Amino acid sequence: MNGEERQFEPELEGQAEPQPAPGDLERAPDEPRYPFWTYGDFVLYLFLTLPLFMIVMAGTTFAIHVLRVPGNRSVYMLAAQFAVYGLSFLILKALFRIRYDRPFWSSLGWSMPRRPSLWLLVGMALAVAVVVAAAVMKVSQVKGPMYELLQDPAALATVAVLAVTVGPVAEELFFRGLLLPLMTRTLGAAAGVIVVGLLFALPHAPQYGWSWKQVLLIAGAGSAFGVVRYVTGSTAAAAIAHAAYNGTFFALYFISQRLGTGPE
């Protein structure tokens, strides 16, 4: 295995000794490669989960627009999205176990980094950098679904909690745990990180009215999370940085509202 593949390798369950540092040693011939899954597995995973996603989102849309359930529609859509994430990971867990007899969490690189506080600070610093970049780029407030969420205190509180807990874990497991090792093996580290960063930004685009400036900033943040995953070999480290990034944004928003300087 080359150094780039090794960089993503998680510590697997049941190992008696720690793994060597990335690139230090070549894998023994009888050891399975990492990632052990293929693009065919990824396509199969999408084939199994996309119908589920469509059913859940269609049902949520029906409840909002036909049954007219009370509450913020964006919160319902967001909750449905995370419900699909949870169900899809159960499918992925079964796929790993049935096809490869491998565990879910450790296979996707979920192990706590040695210095979690460092990645917490990295996420906070990244949020500040994105705010500065948005000011330089003169990014204007877009009245999309995210704007709607910010206007409803109950919805805002719900989204803030999800954004620093379930959201980063689910998104990092999918983008940096499952997809990034495949892309890196194919494209190399730099290109893989950037491509996955762009793919990460696309699902967020509708929330910001498809503003290309917002998408570019989110892609930059996603690429930064990819770098964290690459450097540490830990998806948990990327999730910590992601949670701190989101939390800093909400903290800045609450402060700006209190000072009367936030968006109307």
- Condensed to tens digits (0 to 9), the pLDDT of residues 35-75 reads 999 999 999 999 999 898 889 888 888 887 787 777 667 77
Answer whether 0.75 is exceeded by the pTM.
Answer: yes
In a domain, 147, yes or no: yes
Q: What is the pLDDT of residue 7?
A: 56
* Mean of pLDDT over the chain: 83
Before 35, cis peptide (omega within 30)? yes
Chain segment 112-136, per-residue pLDDT in tens: 998 999 999 999 999 999 999 998 9
Sorting pLDDT into bands at 50, 70 and 90, what band is 20?
very low
Q: What is the pLDDT of residue 169?
A: 96
pLDDT higher than 90, residue 187: yes
In a domain, 251, yes or no: yes
Chain segment 141-168, per-residue pLDDT in tens: 766 666 666 677 777 788 888 889 999 9
| Domain extent at residue 116 | 3-259
| Count of structural domains, the chain | 1
In a domain, 226, yes or no: yes
Q: What is the pLDDT of residue 62?
A: 85
In a domain, 264, yes or no: no
Residue 82 contacts by C-beta under 8 Å, 6 or more apart in sequence? Answer: 162, 166, 167, 170
In this structure, are residues 215 and 202 in contact, taking their beta carbons and an 8 Å threshold? yes
Query: Residue written as tokens 């159960």?
Result: 90
In a domain, 160, yes or no: yes
pLDDT higher than 50, residue 206: yes
In a domain, 101, yes or no: yes
In this structure, are residues 52 and 87 in contact, taking their beta carbons and an 8 Å threshold? yes
